[in-house]
Every structure is written in structure tokens, then in C-alpha cells.
Amino acid sequence: MERTYSASTISRTRTRRADFRSHEEMHPRDNLLPALAAEYAKNREVLAVAIGGSKSTGVDDEWSDFDLYVYTQSECGLETRKQLAQTHGVRVDVDNRFWEPGDEWIDESGRHVDVMFRQVAWIEEQLARVLERHEAAVGYSTCFWANVLYAKPLFDREGWFARLQQRAHIPYPEALRAAIVAKNWPILRNTLSSYRHQLARAIDRDDPVSIQHRVTAALASYFDIVFGINRTPHPGEKRLLAIVERRCELRPEGYARDVRTLLRLAAAGAANTLSAYDAVMDGLDDLLRTAGLVGGFRPGNTARSVKLDAFVEHVALWTADIERSRAFYEKYFGAAAGSIYKSARRPFISYFLGFPRGARLELMQSPESPSKGCAHLSMSVGSREQVDRLTAQLGEDGFQVRGAPRLTGDGYYESIVQDPDGNEIEITV
């Protein structure tokens, strides 16, 4: 079974007709995109070309541009890219590096084409960050996951992109959901450096630029949480109100009205902007409490910590033959293995196996450790702060702390404690 999709695993055979996907179902009246895909596919370093953005999800309109993603093992030649852009465009920008590396042009008919070039290893790492390590960001935590998940491939050399999408088609990780709340909710108005605190100071100073900046940043975290609550990958920065209405079953009451009111008042620099901000966040807090993701809330209580329900994140087993064990759980229990982890510090390898429901399973092998048996139970508590707090509390209560909170070699923040019977408990984000 294919599990690791690094560039080194992709064979560089000649381009086959089967590598190209029919574009007729998406845009039967436009052959521009498959023609472009065929041009980029001539480069042996290109593994896939896919269409993304609104045109890949069917919500495009007359103002939508064409977003193409070219996945490469190394950078494409600039001169070839320039020639291709100038062939199709009357106004051309090549080698933009303000955001993702890319080229843009507008053709004679007014169509705007935006081509972005992504390294294979980079996009694989973006998926690992959220789907394996469950790391949240401040806003837009799962955008790259959504981009891969909803993209429509036009060219796929040897099925690499199909395998990447298969990797992305998994249930929304509960640990990621909790991490997004833990990362974004406190900074909305529950810390001294919260967006609400910064917004209040900007209003007092009559600073319209700062008011807009803080409101925009707060809404990025707000929508990150809303999509996380609904276990829905974040679609990006456009059409958010409409997409929430269409895709999210759990929504703050009156969210569209409240968000529009906040934006209108903030643009006008109105004195009641802060009240409108609180109305937006009150609705979110109610939703979080209903979902059981936070405890009670009282505006202005900055001493309160985030309260998240702990759950079993994974169980770890030692094995004498890790590949044999992986195959066993895949064949008989429908597990999907992530990429293998190899420690750089000691002879240790492991797989994380996901299942359609419930906790994950970690298989571990090392000549320095037992060949079989349960290694530890991992409990997720939602944030690094909660890991630190709970570890300290257990130590104060007399339980043995076997490992202080730290960032491990495979990217997890965790501590290790023992329960009353001496079983090891891994406390993680």
C-alpha cells in the first residue's frame, strides 16, 4: 500500500495519455486549462497540475479567475514559464513571489489566469502538519488541506496527486479541532493581548487603519474556529458568509447579520464598534459552549483558562515487526497509515494509523525496547498551555512525572506521567 509520497518515490517515466484527466465535466466550453496543463506537463519535474479555487468547487462567478496549481519536484525554468505566459496573455506578470511563487496573465478575452508553483515536499508537509501532527495556526489552519481536497486534477504523473488526495480524504481529526480552538479562541478577547483589547485601544486613539486591521485579524480566527467546530476544512478568505451558510450545520445565531454590522461600524469608525465586536464573539462563545469545547465565559475575565474536554488521542503498541503489524491493521481493520517516522537520535521507528472513527494507533519498534505490549496511552488536552498546567498539577498531587513538557522529534508537544498503577500516560496537544 502506498503511504509516503515524497519526490524520490516518483518514477520519471514518459508522459502517458492516462496521466491526463478529462476536463469536460468541469468546464465543457473551455479548453484553456487542459491545454495549459499539457504544456506544463512537458517538464519532467512536474508531477501534477490541478485547478483550484472557486472553479474547482462550482461556486465561481463572472469575476472568478482561473487558479492553476503546478506541483513540481524542483523549480520550473523561468524562461519557459515566461514564454508560456506571453503566448496566452496580453498583460503578464512572471515570477511573483509575494505569496506563493507564481505567474499571472490576462488574455485577450479578459480571462485572468493565476498559476502557482508548489514543491511536492512542501505540500506533503502542509498535510502532515494538520492531519498527522494536528498543528493549528492563527487563522486559516486548514486551508491547504481544503485546497488539495477539493482540487480537480488536469494532469497527474503516475497517480501522485490521486494518492495525495487519498491521504487528504480522512475524518477531521478531533485533536486538530481542539487545537484550532485552543490557538484562536483566547486571542479573540480573553487575554491581555487579545484582538478586543487592541481594538479598544485603536478606537480610543481614533486610529481607523488599526481598527480595520484588528477586526480583519479577529475574523480570520473567528472563521477558523467556526469551520473547525463543523469539522470542515477552511476554504480560504473568499465568500465565507455564504460558505458557512452552505457547509456548516453549526453556526453562531445571527452570525451573518452580526459580522456585517461589525464591518460596517468599523469602517465608519463608530463608537459602538466594540459592542458589535462583542455581539459577534458572544455568538461564537455560545456555539463553543454548546459543542462542549469551552467552559463558561464572562467578558473581561482575563484570568480564566481555556477549558477543553480531554479525549484519548492514541494508544501506542510495541511490535517486533512494524511492517507486519501495519499490514495486519490495514487489512483487517481498515487502518490508513501515515508516513513512517525514523528518529535521528536513536534506533526507533513508528507509524500512526488512523481509523474511520475513534482514536489512532501508534506502532513502535526499537531494539532498545520491548518487542510487544502496550507502551502508553496518549490523552489530548487541546493546547500546550493545558499540557503544562495539567502536568504541573499532577506533579503537585504526588504523581510521578516521567517526562517534562517538550517538543519531540516528530513534532508533538507532550509530557509523560504515571497513573496510580504505574501506567504511562502521554499528555499532548
CATH code where residue 129 lies:
3.30.460.10
Judge contact between 366 and 347, C-beta under 8 A: yes
Closest CA to 191 of 301, 103, 114, 35: 301
pLDDT of residue 1: 30
Instruction: Give the dihedral sign, CA 143/149/152/155.
Output: positive
Do 229 and 128 sit in the same domain of this protein? no
Question: What residue ranges of the chain have pLDDT lower than 50?
Answer: 1-18, 20-29, 56, 296-307
Is residue 82 situated within a structural domain? yes
pLDDT of residue 35: 87
278: amino acid identity, one letter: D
Judge contact between 51 and 33, C-beta under 8 A: yes
CATH code where residue 419 lies:
3.10.180.10
Q: What is the pLDDT of residues 21-78, one digit of tens each?
A: 444 444 433 688 888 889 889 988 999 999 986 554 555 555 567 889 999 998 887 8
The pTM (predicted TM-score) of the whole model is 0.62
Residue 47 to residue 410: CA distance in whole angstroms: 27
Residue 128 to residue 337: CA distance in whole angstroms: 12
- DSSP, collapsed to helix, strand or coil, labels residue 123 as helix
DSSP 338-361: ---EE-SSSS-EEEEEE-SSS-EE
pLDDT of residue 312: 80
Q: What is the DSSP letter of 131?
A: H
pLDDT of residue 54: 54
pLDDT of residue 301: 37
C-alpha cell at 420: 496510580
- DSSP, collapsed to helix, strand or coil, labels residue 71 as strand
Do 28 and 79 sit in the same domain of this protein? yes
Do 207 and 159 sit in the same domain of this protein? no
Do 95 and 213 sit in the same domain of this protein? no
The boundaries of the domain holding residue 253 are 174-290
In a 10 Å sphere around its CB, with 0-12 CB exposed, 13-18 middle and 19+ buried, how is residue 38 labelled? middle
Q: What is the pLDDT of residues 296-335, one digit of tens each?
A: 433 333 333 344 567 888 888 898 899 988 988 887 778 8
pLDDT of residue 85: 84
pLDDT of residue 52: 81
pLDDT of residue 213: 95
